[in-house]
Amino acid sequence: MPFARVNGNMLFYREVGEGPLALFVHGFPLDHSLWLDQLKGLAHVRRCVAVDLRGFGKSDPIVDRVLTMEMLADDLAGVIDALGAEKADVIALSMGGYVARALFELRPSLVRSLTLVNTRASADSAKARAGRDALAERLLGQGGSAITCDLISGLLSRKPSRRSQARVRSMIEGTRYETFIAALEGMKERQDRTSLLSRIDVPTLVIGGEEDAIIPEDEIRAMAKLVPGARTAVLSDAGHLAPIEQPDQFNQALIELFEGRKVVWWR
């Protein structure tokens, strides 16, 4: 099985296809399998690599107290190097988007294009930080099964398919508790990178879900407006996990980005 040794950790990745590297970065508390439809649908245009971030999925368990976005971004830079690539098209969802923005800030030369999916540039509000503490307490006090249903319904659209629910449940249940806690700390501490948006000078695609309960459509469109020349696609019948709920539209938007064609406005 493919692993890259980066910053002292073995990081798992799944790879298909040939051509320029496209690196897929999952959100929280998920893993590389978020992107299986993309690996299947885009292997003819890209060397697609979906990575398990430090501590997640099949990557090594961690002892870090906090997974900072900068630390995870440095890991991604290490993965791109380990794959022998000079640049990557970076496609990143939610927490993955926080990491991708940090990567662009720290190592912009590694990013050929940026696809920001169901994500925001701002830092956590005081309320959001308190919510993360409450979630961590519930997880440790009551165990994962107590919070999994709430998490799944927050991540998917109002009428999710069984396939989507099953895939999300598998990812959440596969996330180790220490990773869960350290990632929550990292997201709590993360920097506001709104001011970075106007400095993004690579082709950028912003994707949202019309039924995203975590990042509302208005916020997605407002963020996209701050990135010079960004394309936007807001997908219907999709919540916070557009790549799982609307894989065909999602893949089409990516192909149009890669080919330099204009992404249609989905509504």
Minimum CB–partner distance for residue 94 and ligand MLT (Å) = 3
Closest CA to 53 of 18, 103, 119, 110: 103
Minimum CB–partner distance for residue 229 and ligand MLT (Å) = 26
Site string for ligand MLT, 238-267 (x = CB under 6 A): --x---------------------------
The one among 12, 13, 24, 28 contacting ligand MLT by CB under 6 A: 28
Bridge partner list, 5:
10
Grouping H, G, I as helix, E, B as strand and the rest as coil, residue 137 is helix
200 binds ligand MLT (CB under 6 A): no
**Within 13 Å of residue 7, how many CA atoms lie on the same side as its CB?**
20
Minimum CB–partner distance for residue 44 and ligand MLT (Å) = 28
Q: How many residues sit close enough to ligand MLT to count as binding (CB under 6 A)? A: 7
Contact 136, 113 (CB under 8 A): no
Site string for ligand MLT, 85-104 (x = CB under 6 A): ---------xx---------
Write phi, then psi, for 16 (nearest 5 degrees).
-145, 155
214 binds ligand MLT (CB under 6 A): yes
187 binds ligand MLT (CB under 6 A): yes
For residues 106 and 120, give the distance between their C-alpha atoms in angstroms, rounded to a whole number: 18
The C-alpha angle with vertex 36 and arms to 4 and 167, in degrees rounded to 5, equals 110
Closest CA to 86 of 21, 18, 25: 21
38 binds ligand MLT (CB under 6 A): no
Question: Which residues here bind ligand MLT, judged by CB under 6 A?
Answer: 27-28, 94-95, 187, 214, 240
